[in-house]
Structures are given as C-alpha cells and as structure tokens.
Chain A
C-alpha cells in the first residue's frame, strides 16, 4: 500500500513538472507559431510554420530588421506579424502619410514587407514595446523554404536626431 502510494506520488510529481517545463520552454524560450497573415509576403507566407523566440523580446536583444509577432494595438486578441523597422529614438518616414515621425521612448515602429496589404505603424503610429510577443527566428514549414529569416539588404536610414 505504502509503495503504491509513493509510486503514485512520484508519477504525479514528474507529470506536473514535465508539463510545466514544456509550458515554460514554449512560453519563455522558443515555441511554434503558424502565421496566417499575408502582410509579410514573400518572407513569410500564409500558413507557414515558424519557430518563435520570446526570449529575444523579454531580454531586449531585438535589432532593427527582425521579424516579430506582436499583439495588435486595436485588438488585444489579434496577432500581427511585421518587421521591426525602427526602435526608440529613431526617425522614420511614414510612406502612407508622407511625413517623418519620431519614435518615442519605449516604442517601436512595425511595417509589413507586403506594403499594399499591411495595416501597420504607417496607419496607427508607433506602438509600445510591451505589445511584442516574440521574434521569428526560423521558418520550419514548408520544407523547401526552411531556413533563418534574413535581414533585409537595405535597412531604412534613420535621420540624424
């Protein structure tokens, strides 16, 4: 009886630890995400499976040109996939409104690669850093386009401020 109880206790302890370790790994280090968005074509296409790393966001290792998952500022339950174009302290040219905007402290500027089909910072302005979820590091599926997400050749030049 006692040994059965201890075996049961061991099983429960290891199951709880295993499940929560999996959860923490997926939540804080790296997880899988399916992108159902056309705004990052051709880099990430509709239905691609990608590896996402919240680690880069939590510890602020992001750099300009990274592709990120972010919560939509208009709708907290929607996710958007965009490219990080400017970070705090930069000036960025807003191609839709036709003037330069300053990205304030603690904020970021996101734009999709597919300019015609992307609702992004050009419409709603710079958004807070806290809305970011994760960085997109690796494209897993489909297999013929497997590989790291590369930075664009020319990053937009920030003005001298």
Chain B
C-alpha cells in the first residue's frame, strides 16, 4: 500500500469524527457578507473566520449582545450571522420604515446586524424562533490582527425595553 492508500484510509477514518465534532462541539466557518461590519469583515473582503460554538443548540444559554448564527427563516439553505438584541418578553421598536413596537413572543429572539444600513435581519422578517439558532460565534480566528473573543455589544440602545422574565429558560423538554 502506497502513500495514496494510506492517505485515503486516513481520510476515511477521520471523516466521521470530524463530522460529529463539528456537529456537536465546535466548527469553523468563513463569514460572507457585510451585515456585521465593523465587527466582522470590516473591509468587505469575506476573509474572516469565526469559531462557532455548537453547544448552545442544546443548552440555549444566550444573552443579549451575543453573536449567533442561524438558518434564515426566508431561505433554509442560507446561513446568517447576527447579534441578539432582545430576548423573549422584551419590547423593541423596529428600525424599519414602519417603526412599529414589537413584543417578542415566547421562544423567539430579535436579531440584528451591526451594520444597520445593509443587513437583512429581524427588521425585515420579525422575531425568529430559537429553534433556528445553530451556534454562537465565540471567537474570531482569522485575520490574526483581530484574533480574539467576540465581545457582547448593546446595539438596541433606546429602542429596547428590557423585561426580566422569570419564566425564561424554564422550558419544557419533550413533546407538545
């Protein structure tokens, strides 16, 4: 068996653990799009790599200001990266042209991009269900000059009315 055979055998042995690891624990992905400027992709060159923490899909311990990745509610094959602005129970005034006040329903969150002018977010499609969250973006890995943790940031500002909800997190496991 030559080196090609060894390589193929190694790849076959490594593929399932890799898939399971990226599905359960951590994954690395590039960020495309400008919706998170200036935090991610500040020069618009789609070069940033982020570390995605997949464990939040089971624990769901999110806070306001976290950067999350989610499946787009408008297109299941599209992947969005946004910041959590409001959690369930909060009230927010949407930044769209209607400026309506929205109460976030149970099991939903309000996500927005850092770049207000160029972001497809909850101002377009409303609150999103927590079940669409696939991971939390915890670190920037590339480029090395901005290597580090993604900090929490408040971008809701005065539009957001916080309501601490004692019921939050106490969700029911199983069937409905």
**Which residues of A come within 8 Å of B, CB atoms?**
13, 16-17, 19-21, 23-24, 27-28, 35-37, 60, 71-81, 104-107, 119, 127-131
Q: Which of B86-134 contact A (CB under 8 A)?
A: 105-108, 128-133
Q: Do A20 and B132 touch across chains, with their CB atoms under 8 A apart?
A: no
Q: Do B20 and A36 touch across chains, with their CB atoms under 8 A apart?
A: no
Q: Do B16 and A24 touch across chains, with their CB atoms under 8 A apart?
A: yes
B171 interface hit (Cβ, 8 Å): yes
Q: Do A73 and B129 touch across chains, with their CB atoms under 8 A apart?
A: yes
Q: Which residues of A contact B131 (CB under 8 A)?
A: 71-73, 76, 130-131
Residue of A19, A21, A35, A74 most packed against chain B (CB within 10 A): A74
Give chain A nearest CB distance to B1 CB in angstroms: 16
A73 to B130, CA, bound (A): 7
* Chief secondary structure at chain B's binding surface: mixed
Give chain A nearest CB distance to B171 CB in angstroms: 5
Residue of B17, B108, B173, B176 most packed against chain A (CB within 10 A): B176
A36 to B174, CA, bound (A): 8
Residue among B13, B71, B132, B176 making CB contact with A78, cutoff 8 Å = B176
3 smallest beta-carbon distances between A and B, as pairs: A130-B71, A71-B131, A129-B76
Q: Which residues of B contact A130 (CB under 8 A)?
A: 70-73, 76, 131-132
B6 interface hit (Cβ, 8 Å): no
Q: Do B132 and A131 touch across chains, with their CB atoms under 8 A apart?
A: yes
Size band of the interface chain B makes with A: 20 to 34
Known interface pairs A20-B20, A106-B75; 11 further A-B residue pairs with C-beta atoms within 8 A, sorted by A's residue number: A72-B107, A75-B107, A77-B60, A77-B173, A78-B171, A79-B174, A104-B74, A107-B74, A128-B128, A130-B71, A130-B76
Q: Which residues of A contact B172 (CB under 8 A)?
A: 75, 77-78
A67 to B19, CA, bound (A): 27
B175 interface hit (Cβ, 8 Å): yes
Q: Do A23 and B74 touch across chains, with their CB atoms under 8 A apart?
A: no
Residue among A24, A73, A105 making CB contact with B107, cutoff 8 Å = A73
B23 interface hit (Cβ, 8 Å): yes
A24 to B23, CA, bound (A): 9
